[in-house]
Structure 1
Amino acid sequence: MIEYVVASKDDKELLMQSRLEMLRVVNELPFDYEFSKELIDNSREYFNSNNQTTVLAIDECVIGCATICYIEVMPTFSHPTGKRAHLMNVYTNSKYRRQGIALYMLNLLIKDAKEKGVTEISLDATELGKPLYKKCNFVEADEYMVLNLK
Structure 2
Amino acid sequence: MEYRYATTDDMNLMIRSRMDTLRDVNSLDEDYKFSEEFLEASREYFREGDQSTVLAIDNGRAVGCATMCYIDLMPTYAHPSGRRAHLMNVWTNKDYRRQGIAEKLVTMLIEEARGRGVSEISLDATEAGRPLYRKLGFVESGENMTMIIQN
Instruction: Map residues 83-94 of structure 1 onto 2, 5 A cutoff.
Output: 83-94=83-94
* Corresponding residue of 1:17: 16
Q: Counterpart of 2:81 in 1: which secondary structure?
A: coil
The offset of 1:50, in angstroms, is: 4.5
Who is 2:53 aligned against?
54
Unaligned runs of 5+ in 2: none
Indicate the residue corresponding to 1:95 in structure 2: 95
User: Do structure 1's residue 67 and structure 2's residue 67 form an aligned pair?
Assistant: yes
Q: How far has the Cα of 1:80 moved from its partner?
A: 0.5
1: CA distance between counterparts of 2:46 and 2:20?
16
Q: In structure 2, what residue type is equivalent to 1:65?
A: C
Please, which moves more after superposition, 6-15 or 114-123?
A: 6-15
Structure 1 runs (4+) deviating above 2 angstroms are none
- How many residue pairs were aligned? 149
The alpha carbon displacement at 1:49 in A equals: 1.8
When the two chains are superposed, the root-mean-square deviation of aligned CA atoms in Å is: 0.7
Partner of 1:28: 27
Amino acid of the structure 1 residue aligned with 2:140: E
2:116 — aligned with what? 116
Q: 1:111 & 1:49 partners in 2: Cα distance?
A: 22
Hey, what's the Cα distance between the residues in 2 that align with 1:9 and 1:67?
14
Distance (Å, rounded) in 2 between the aligned partners of 1:147 and 1:64: 30
> Does 2:31 match 1:8?
no
CA deviation digits over 1:105-140, x for unaligned, max 9?
Answer: 010000000000000000000000000100100001
- Matching residue's letter, 2:128: L
Normalising to structure 2: TM-score of the pair? 0.96
C-alpha distance in structure 1 between counterparts of 2:122 and 2:38, whole Å: 22
Range that drifts further, 121-130 or 4-13: 4-13
SS in 2 for 1:109: helix
Task: Give the Cα–Cα distance (whole angstroms) in 1 for the partners of residues 147 and 28 of structure 2.
Answer: 27
* CA distance in 2: counterparts of 1:134 and 1:77, whole angstroms: 25
Deviation of 1:149 (Å): 1.3
Q: Distance in 2 between matches of 1:149 and 1:38?
A: 19
Q: Which runs of 5+ in 1 are unaligned?
A: none
